[in-house]
C-alpha cells in the first residue's frame, strides 16, 4: 500500500495525508488496499466507529469482513485526489465531525490547476449538481428537476501560467492550449465530484481530469493524474480548540508546478 502519513492526532481524531491512487473505503472494485484497511491495521479500535455502529452492536456477533463499512470516515476524497482526510477515533467524535461537515462548519481548501486562463481573480460557482443520466460515475450541473442538489464553490487565483510548448491530449496527440491557472478552491457544500464538475461547467476543467476534461482536456508533461489536492481543514474541535490542519502539496503536483514555472515565457 502507498504511504499514508499522520499529519495530526488527538484523542478524538486523526488527520491523514492520503496519497493519490488509493481509495478511501471498500467498493465493488476495491476490496483491499484502501484507507480503511490501513486504519484497521493501525487503529483496530476504530472498527466499531461509524453510522451503523448501533445496528452492528445489536447483532451481538463478531464483525466479519463484510461488516467493515467506513469506520471513522466522516468524509472522503476521490481515488486520484491527494491531501488531508479527517477520521474520527470514537463514536462521539464521529457524530460531532459528521455534523460539522453536514452543516458546513468545516472550512475546506483545495489546490486545483485548471485548464485555461480564468478571467477573474476570484469567483463563486453556485449551480446544482446531479448524477449524469449518461455516465453513472459522473456528476453534472443541472439534471432533472428534483434530482439536482444545491452546490456552491468559491475560488481565488493563486498563479497563472501562459500557454507554451506542446501539451499532450488524452489521445496522445499534441493540442493547442491557452495555459493553466492555479486556484485555491473552497467547496461550501459536499457533493460528489463537486469541484471537478463545477470547474468543468465554467469551461476550466481540472488539468489531467479524464472524466471531466472533455474536449478541453489538457495535461502538463509528466503528470499522470488530476491536479487536485485537499490542502487544509479548519474547524472547532470537541475540546473547544480551533484547528487548522494542512497537508503538504504532493510531490508530483509540486513537480508539475515547477516545470510550468520554468518553461513559462
Catalytic residue among 12, 37, 52, 78: 78
Assign 3-state DSSP to the chain and report helix, strand, coil percentages, each to 5: 25, 30, 50
- Cell 492520503: give the residue: 18
DSSP secondary structure of 80-99: T-EEEEEEESSHHHHHHHHH
List helix spans (H) across the chain.
Answer: 35-42, 53-59, 91-103, 194-201, 251-263
Helix (H) or strand (E) run with residue 158 in it: strand 152-161
3-state secondary structure of 56: helix
CA-to-CA distance for 98 and 88, rounded, in angstroms?
9
Q: Report phi then psi at 5, rounded to 5.
A: -120, 155
Q: Is 78 a catalytic residue?
A: yes
Q: What SS3 string covers 101-142?
A: HHHCCCEEEEEEEEECCCCCCEEEEECCEEECCCCCCCEEEC
CA-to-CA distance for 195 and 248, rounded, in angstroms?
19
Picking from 233, 157, 148, the residue whose alpha carbon sits closest to that of residue 194 is 148
Diameter of the chain measured on Cα atoms: 66
Q: Which residues are catalytic?
A: 78
Amino acid at each position: 500500500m502507498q504511504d499514508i502519513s499522520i499529519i495530526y492526532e488527538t484523542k478524538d481524531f486523526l488527520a491523514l495525508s492520503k496519497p493519490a491512487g488509493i481509495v478511501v473505503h471498500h467498493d465493488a472494485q476495491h476490496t483491499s488496499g484502501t484507507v480503511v484497511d490501513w486504519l484497521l491495521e493501525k487503529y483496530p479500535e476504530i472498527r466499531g466507529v461509524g453510522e451503523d455502529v448501533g445496528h452492528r452492536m445489536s447483532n451481538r456477533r463478531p464483525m466479519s469482513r463484510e461488516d467493515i463499512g467506513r469506520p471513522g470516515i466522516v468524509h472522503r476524497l476521490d481515488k486520484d485526489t491527494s491531501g488531508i482526510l479527517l477520521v474520527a477515533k470514537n463514536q462521539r467524535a464521529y457524530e460531532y465531525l459528521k455534523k460539522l461537515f453536514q452543516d458546513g462548519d468545516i472550512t475546506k481548501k483545495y489546490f486545483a490547476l485548471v485548464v485555461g486562463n480564468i478571467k477573474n481573480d476570484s469567483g463563486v460557482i453556485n449551480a446544482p449538481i446531479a448524477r449524469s443520466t449518461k455516465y453513472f460515475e459522473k456528476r453534472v450541473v443541472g439534471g432533472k428537476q428534483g434530482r439536482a442538489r444545491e452546490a456552491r464553490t468559491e475560488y481565488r487565483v493563486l498563479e497563472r501560467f501562459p500557454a507554451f510548448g506542446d501539451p499532450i491530449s488524452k489521445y496522445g496527440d499534441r493540442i493547442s492550449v491557452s495555459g493553466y491557472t492555479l486556484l485555491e478552491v473552497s467547496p461550501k457544500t459536499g457533493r460528489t465530484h463537486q469541484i471537478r464538475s463545477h470547474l468543468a461547467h465554467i469551461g476550466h476543467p481540472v488539468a489531467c481530469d479524464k472524466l471531466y476534461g472533455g474536449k478541453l482536456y489538457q495535461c502538463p508533461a509528466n503528470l499522470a493524474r488530476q491536479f487536485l489536492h485537499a490542502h487544509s481543514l479548519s474547524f472547532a474541535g470537541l475540546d473547544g480548540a480551533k484547528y487548522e490542519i494542512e497537508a503538504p502539496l504532493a510531490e508530483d503536483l509540486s513537480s508539475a508546478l515547477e516545470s510550468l514555472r520554468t518553461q513559462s515565457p
